Amino acid sequence: MKKIEARNIYKRFQNLEVLKGIDLEVSEGEVVAVIGPSGGGKSTLLRCLNKLETIEQGTIIIDGETLAKDTGKGAEYASTEDARRIACKMGMVFQQFNLFPHMTVLENLIEAPVQVQKRNKAEVIKEAEILLEKVGLSDKRDVYPRKLSGGQQQRVAIARALAMKPAIMLFDEPTSSLDPELTGEVLRTMRELAEEKMTMVVVTHEMGFAREVATKVVFMADGYVQACGTPEEIFENPTNERLKHFLNVIKK
Partner 1 sequence: MLDYIISIIPQMLAGCQVTAQVFFLTIILSIPLGLLLAFGRVSNLSLVKHFIAFYVWVMRGTPLMLQLLFFYFALPSVGIRFDDFTAAMIAFVLNYAAYFCEIFRAGIQAIPKGQYEAAHTLGMSYVQTMRRIVLPQVFRIVLPPVSNETITLVKDTSLVYVLAMNDLMRTTRNLVQRDFDITPFLVAGVFYLLATLVLTVLFENLEKHFSRYDQ
Ligand X SMILES: Nc1ncnc2c1ncn2[C@@H]1O[C@H](COP(=O)(O)OP(=O)(O)O)[C@@H](O)[C@H]1O
Q: Which residues bind partner 1 (CB under 8 A)?
A: 50-52, 84-85, 87-88, 90-92, 94, 96, 98-104, 111-112, 115-117, 144-147, 160-161, 164
d(CA 36, CA 225): 9
Task: Indicate whether 204 belongs to the interface with Mg ion (CB under 5 A).
Answer: no
Task: Indicate whether 43 belongs to the interface with ligand X (CB under 6 A).
Answer: yes
Residue closer to partner 1, measured from CB, 168 or 227: 168
Query: Using CB under 6 A, which residues numbered 23 to 42 contact ligand X?
Result: 36, 38-42
Residue closer to ligand X, measured from CB, 47 or 89: 47
Residue closer to partner 1, measured from CB, 117 or 240: 117
Helices 121-134 and 105-115 cross at an angle (nearest 10°) of 130
Of these partners, partner 1, ligand X, Mg ion, none, which one is at the site of residue 146 (CB under 5 to 8 Å by kind)?
partner 1
Task: Indicate whether 57 belongs to the interface with Mg ion (CB under 5 A).
Answer: no
CA 147, 132, 203, 248 torsion-angle sign:
positive
Q: Which of 13, 15, 73, 181 binds ligand X (CB under 6 A)?
A: 13
Q: Identify the DSSP state of 205.
A: S
- Closest C-alpha among 86, 98, 110 to residue 160: 110
- Do the strands 168-172 and 90-93 form a parallel or antiparallel pair, or are they unpaired? parallel
Contact 166, 91 (CB under 8 A): yes
Residue 177: CB partners within 8 Å, gap ≥ 6? 95, 96, 97, 150
Q: Which region among 11-19, 58-66, 154-162, 204-212 touches ligand X (by CB under 6 A)? A: 11-19
CB of 2 to ligand X, least distance (A): 23
If one counts every other C-beta atom within 10 angstroms of the C-beta of residue 139, the result is: 10
- Binding residues for ligand X (CB under 6 A): 13, 16, 18, 36, 38-44
